Structure 1
């Protein structure tokens, strides 16, 4: 599986834990995140992830910032991107099952690294249920 990841200054350690897991599991990872705690602008790291998902270069995206909100808002500006702000594993599962989310947004300041890793594991292994949920997902995009 191909996965793109991006983070601002709140998430370098989270990214490192997640990327290590993904690579060890055999996934290909495109890393657009910063590696330092020096202040940066999250859109600079979210847009490349969203573009990869939008263009089919990545199966999933992972974005990380302090609250998860700013970077989720950023990537959701891209057509075909459905980013879900998740703070527990169960939300990540529902985002996949019911919303066919293809990007997970993680709030680094409100989750632990282990919670973030568990959410990512659940997110990338959970299938979309389709059915009545497909009708709803079809209504998300403004075309």
Structure 2
């Protein structure tokens, strides 16, 4: 193998290390955000679960897939559009929530603590109408 072969191998290794570094940096950055938790999601009617990180925002939940280099969320659910169904615990370390939205239903599985946080976040929503006096 000549000089050019070694240059190509080194260039491929450097690109691979750069992509891996960007992936790890992005994942650490998303996981270090306030209100982030690990969750797997799947669309209703589909069998495959997708691993990622969900982040509570003020009026929405953003979901970032683990296997991606994008810094923007792949899925966003607005709090006003979500109708929440909490399913009974299937195991002691995993609980499933169904997010019913006008665009379709999604299942999200996470720890019971994270599911309790989702329910609390939904309950903390501002009122949709002004209260009236009796």
Structures share fold, TM-score greater than 0.5: no
Largest Rg, 1 or 2: 2
**Larger relative helix fraction:** 1
Shorter-chain TM-score bucket reads under 0.3
Name the structure where strand makes up a greater proportion of residues.
Answer: 2
Report the TM-score, using the length of structure 2 for normalisation.
0.26
Using structure 1 for the length normalisation, give the TM-score: 0.25
Highest relative contact order (Cα 8 Å, sep 6+), 1 or 2?
A: 1
